[in-house]
Amino acid sequence: MKKILLSLLCLLFFSGIFAQSFSLLDTNGVAISPGATIMFVGEPTDDVIQAIVLVKNNSDVAKDVKVKKVINAGDTLAGTVNTFCWGLCFPPTTYVSPISQTLQPGDTCDQFFGDYNPTNVYGASKIMYVFFDVNNTNDSVAVLVKYNASPAIISDDLISLVKFSDAYPNPAINVVYVDYTIPESVNSASIVITNMLGSKVREVNLGNRSGKARIGVADLVNGIYFYSLIADDQLLLTRKFVVRR
């Protein structure tokens, strides 16, 4: 009996050490797994590609929360600029927010914005953001954000011949449509759907040079999805749509 009691006490002790007070959500309220990689897509010419992450306090006490960004060597492309906001916005040289946000029990904070300026640089950069309790820095949750500004340099002449509409209806419930036209020089093309974690959830082969692609989304969970036009194994264009029921 004593051994059983001791085991239970140890289990409770270690559970308390590793318990996390915080969870992360996207703007649709869909949970983001701790440590997951999420992707935000834009054009190299965009002024900013913005990542928005919501932070929830799951504990039964108020928490003073700060955020820090972690960038390892080679994670960001040379010449690009990144900043973040946590209530206030800070310059690129700030890695830990000088101020905290107080989250009451059950509160969800929408004051975080990660801003990435690709400055006409093609490719992807990765930044990790860690949200932590200032009174217990081990009580934290992190997310790795991938800012994707077109992963390959594509011929402007080819893109100018392509028509790739915004997805509709948006938000989508059961099905989403995309109007497209691809030039004669393209041998094969498809539309690839990925979730915010970068996982492919659907691919539709385009058998005609032009038409309306019908993509079923009834089995997809609510959230943000990206749809990309792939032509001859090259990514030409990426846009996003939302599934919401």
Cα→Cα distances 28→33, 112, 187, 193, Å: 14, 15, 38, 18
Q: Is the domain of 142 the same as that of 162?
A: no
CATH code (residue 166): 2.60.40.1930
Share of the chain above pLDDT 70, in %: 89
- Residue predicted with more confidence, 20 or 213: 213
CATH code (residue 44): 2.60.40.1090
Q: Is the domain of 55 the same as that of 143?
A: yes
pLDDT classification of 128: cutoffs 50, 70, 90: very high
Q: Where are the alpha helices (DSSP H) in the chain?
A: 2-18, 156-160
Query: Is pLDDT above 70 for 205?
Result: yes
Question: Is residue 126 assigned to a domain?
Answer: yes
| Phi, psi dihedral angles at 2 (to 5 degrees) | -65, -40
Report d(CA 164, CA 7) in Å as an integer. 61
User: What value does the mean pLDDT take over residues 123-146?
Assistant: 95
Please report the sign of the dihedral spanned by the C-alpha atoms of residue 160, residue 191, residue 221, residue 104: negative
Q: Is the domain of 188 the same as that of 145?
A: no
User: What value does the mean pLDDT take over residues 126-143?
Assistant: 96
Condensed to tens digits (0 to 9), the pLDDT of residues 43-58 reads 888 899 999 999 999 9
Tally of structural domains, the chain:
2
**Which residues are CB-neighbours of 221 under 8 A, at least 6 positions away?**
30, 243
